[in-house]
Chains A and B, each alone.
Chain A
Amino acid sequence: MSIVVYLETSDVAVRSASLPALTAARALAQHRGGPIVGVVIGSGLDAAAKDAARYVDKVLAYDAPELRAPLAETYAPVLVAALKAAGADALVASATSTGKDVLPRTAALLGAGMASDISSVEGAAKFKRPTYAGNAVTTVEVTSPTVIVSARQTAFEAAAPLATVGGVELQPAGTVDARGAAFVALHASKSERPDLTEASIVVSGGRGMKSGENFKVLEELTDLLGGALGASRAAADAGMVPNDLQVGQTGKVVAPKLYIAVAISGAIQHLAGMKGSKTIVAINKDAEAPIFQVADYGLVGDWEKVVPAMIEEVKKLKA
């Protein structure tokens, strides 16, 4: 049997957020065998399907105007059809906002068990996943004949293209029934900075920053380092920064090579979103703040003095 990987696409390419799912699927193929079939869904998919074919032996493309927006109501039946067309008994996707919405619905349509947000593949149907806000690692086994998994993006490397390019098969979209649901609009957040979940350096500010105005100095450090700006829930709740910068159990999960937490105390919910970072720096004036327990390097001090000094030091280093 084969393994289907759902690949999210932009107008021209596979989204980088889906590349970890391919790595997870390749790990699963070690245990289950079978070819990996990529599935792309949308409208006007020619370029994106071709890009997807660089990563898999075969791509099934479901291309129809009514599939332009990712609605769980329309995408789940397409994924069911894709599994049938591919002769697959496993479905893998990244645990993105789309993956988390669509995959469980697909599981219901198939009567299949699903392991959410997995961090590793342990067997043909056995996976590890973080639970309790990352305070436990739970091993689960899917017992249904068909296995569905969503892969935590930060736990799997981005897959590299294969040596050979696979073929693209255009599949009939069939009857598309949105069950009355309608996509209205996507208000895209605009930023010159790298995406928070993909940046190799993240600088985050917390409640201790006191105001949105004060985030300017963090932005300066962020841009100097070529990183992305993040924030704790407390800072987002207080309206200092937009909600989409929030890192944590609610919010984004990040695992950059360097995470700098400034004036963040380190609530469990925040730690759940950044504990996987390679190197963690904590800057906080409270020496007892829990953030220091996960930090590789801690500096007790006031951000108002530390951050400008850090900007100067980094400038010296780069000079």
Chain B
Amino acid sequence: MKILVPCKRVPNPEQKLKFAGESLDLANPGWQVNPFDEYAVEAALRLTEKGKGGERAGEVVLVTIAPKDAGQQVRGLLAMGADRALLIDGKDEELDSNAVAQILKGVVEAEKPDLVVMGKQTVDGDDNQVGQLLAGYLGWPQATFLASLSLAADGKSVLTTREVDAGVEEKRVPVPAVLTVDLRIISKKAVHNEALVGPDAEWDEGPRYASLKGIMAAKKKEIKEVTVASFSVSPEVLVKTVSHVAPPARRAGVKVSSVEELVQKLHNEAKVL
């Protein structure tokens, strides 16, 4: 089983955003891996191992499109246990979801993975498009926003669940497919490869931390620097970013001193009760 995991670095989401006129001021972004992509790496690792810290059966290949200094974030994912990485030279401000999906199509055609597993969205652009676009361009089936996934013992299909507005939806897709993952994929029993583990297999909650051994091993793992031109694609940007501004501030609220006062204010002032 070969799994391709596209990933992206994002400004630290806990940090307050700064604006410079109608642009973002990303002087000190505190780059880190997009959380959903980290979940995708965790899911891909679980699909290729026999259990907690057990032996591996498969390959997890990372791909990111970013300036060279993003190698630092990629190295962290290799330390979690991914096998190797491709670093494609590119800048956020010169890309959109469509261009990224078209570049990834080139990567998929060159690497020929069995599955693409990726985060459902990045927490900067919040676009939630690339996985679906990629599946569309490849003509592959897709299963998005996954809460759980189980690879059949014969390796030919994946049974997935996702939370939809009306409840939980189950969908089966054949391999190869594009899978995008949501938060629940990192819960203890969310991921199975039936050929490697039984249905009761479980992992620690959350994406794993890199062990010291993992960090040492990652230093020797390959991060191959490539250019977009080395893939037979011509990415097109179809959505242009015009400006970024801060959202309108909410007017300052008041503190009330009692439940009685609160309910009266909701009734008489806000008129919502």
Binding site for B on A (CB under 8 A): 17, 71-73, 76, 96-98, 100-109, 111-117, 126, 129-144, 178-189, 195, 197, 201, 225, 233, 243-244, 249-250, 252, 257-258, 268-269, 275, 278-281, 292, 294-301, 306, 309-310, 313-314, 317
Known: A100-B145, A139-B243, A310-B263. A108 touches B132 (CB 8 A): yes
> Are B167's CB and A186's CB within 8 A?
yes
A257 contact set on B, CB distance < 8 A: 272
Known: A140-B239, A297-B265. A133 touches B142 (CB 8 A): no
Which residue in A130, A182, A195, A225 is a CB contact (below 8 Å) of B171? A182
> Are B163's CB and A132's CB within 8 A?
no
> Are A133's CB and B140's CB within 8 A?
no
1/0 contact string of B163-180 vs chain A (CB within 8 Å): 111111111111001000
Alpha-carbon distance A25/B241, docked complex (angstroms): 21
B173 contact set on A, CB distance < 8 A: 180-182
A104-B128, A281-B266, A298-B256 given; 7 more Cβ-contact pairs under 8 Å:
A108-B134, A134-B247, A136-B19, A244-B168, A297-B256, A297-B262, A317-B263
Chain B residue nearest to A135 (CB atoms) is B17
- B24 CB to nearest chain A CB (Å): 7
1/0 contact string of B250-263 vs chain A (CB within 8 Å): 11011111111011
Which residue in A98, A189, A296 is a CB contact (below 8 Å) of B270? A296
> Are B259's CB and A115's CB within 8 A?
no
Known: A182-B171, A188-B167, A313-B259. A136 touches B246 (CB 8 A): yes
B11 contact set on A, CB distance < 8 A: 132
Known: A244-B163, A268-B14, A281-B266. A295 touches B240 (CB 8 A): no
Which residue in B127, B136, B170 is a CB contact (below 8 Å) of A109? B136
> Are A179's CB and B141's CB within 8 A?
yes
| Interface residue B13 (Cβ < 8 Å from any Cβ of A) | yes
B177 contact set on A, CB distance < 8 A: 181
> Is the interface on chain B under 10, 10 to 19, 20 to 34, or 35 or more residues?
35 or more
Which residue in B126, B254, B259 is a CB contact (below 8 Å) of A133? B126
B260 contact set on A, CB distance < 8 A: 313
Chain B residue nearest to A184 (CB atoms) is B170
> Are A294's CB and B250's CB within 8 A?
yes
14 A-B contact pairs sorted by A residue (CB < 8 Å) = A98-B165, A105-B135, A108-B136, A114-B238, A132-B123, A179-B139, A189-B167, A197-B165, A249-B126, A269-B13, A297-B256, A299-B255, A299-B256, A313-B263
> Are A140's CB and B240's CB within 8 A?
yes
| Interface residue B97 (Cβ < 8 Å from any Cβ of A) | yes
Which residue in B14, B143, B236, B241 is a CB contact (below 8 Å) of A138? B241
| Interface residue B37 (Cβ < 8 Å from any Cβ of A) | no
> Are A298's CB and B144's CB within 8 A?
no
A317 contact set on B, CB distance < 8 A: 263, 267, 273
Chain A residue nearest to B177 (CB atoms) is A181
A103 contact set on B, CB distance < 8 A: 132
> Are B126's CB and A131's CB within 8 A?
yes
| Interface residue B124 (Cβ < 8 Å from any Cβ of A) | yes
- B109 CB to nearest chain A CB (Å): 15
> Are A280's CB and B253's CB within 8 A?
yes
Alpha-carbon distance A97/B163, docked complex (angstroms): 8
A225 contact set on B, CB distance < 8 A: 273
| Interface residue B162 (Cβ < 8 Å from any Cβ of A) | yes
Chain B residue nearest to A153 (CB atoms) is B165
Known: A106-B136, A131-B126, A140-B241. A297 touches B270 (CB 8 A): yes
Alpha-carbon distance A71/B142, docked complex (angstroms): 9
Which residue in B136, B142, B183 is a CB contact (below 8 Å) of A233? B183
Which residue in A104, A197, A258, A310 is a CB contact (below 8 Å) of B129? A104
B237 contact set on A, CB distance < 8 A: 143
Which residue in A100, A111, A179 is a CB contact (below 8 Å) of B144? A100
* 7 A-B pairs closest in CB distance: A108-B136, A113-B238, A104-B132, A180-B174, A184-B170, A97-B164, A181-B141
Alpha-carbon distance A243/B147, docked complex (angstroms): 10
